[in-house]
Amino acid sequence: MKAPVVIAVSLLLATTLAGCGPTPNDRAASGAVIGGATGALIGGAATGKAGGAVVGGVLGAATGAVIGGTSQPAHGWAWRCVDWGYDAWGNSVCLRRARVYY
């Protein structure tokens, strides 16, 4: 009864903590940390031994680093300037903004 609860809680925590980093290295590092912690929890809960936690942590960290490093941030809508102009001092300014999908 304890093992399924630990697995469910660890997967929930890993899902909520999985943030997007701006670079692939950031995403790989956060994926390795989250995957390692989750793998150690699952391995320890499934086997009840320290060896299972170590193996789960190593496999989880490796898998998390690979998946995190190859993932892309989610796309979405953002405001971008679509019409540029100049002010009285010659500085470029945005005259019109539009929502674009990136």
Same domain, 47 and 94: no
Same domain, 57 and 79: no
Same domain, 59 and 91: no
Biggest CA pair distance of the chain:
72
Say whether pLDDT at 16 is over 60: no
Same domain, 14 and 60: yes
3-class SS string, 45-82: HHHCCHHHHHHHHHHHHHHHHHHHHHCCCCCCEEEEEE
pLDDT of residue 87: 93
Q: Computed from CA positions of residues 48, 51, 53, 59, in that sequence, does the dihedral angle turn out positive or negative?
A: negative
Per-residue pLDDT tens digits for 25-45: 888 888 898 899 889 989 988
Query: Which structural domain range is residue 80 located in?
Result: 75-101
| Number of structural domains the chain divides into | 2
pLDDT of residue 19: 56
Same domain, 83 and 56: no
pTM for the whole thing? 0.57
Same domain, 33 and 83: no
Same domain, 13 and 42: yes
> How far is Cα 85 from Cα 64, in angstroms, rounded to an integer?
46
> How far is Cα 30 from Cα 21, in angstroms, rounded to an integer?
8
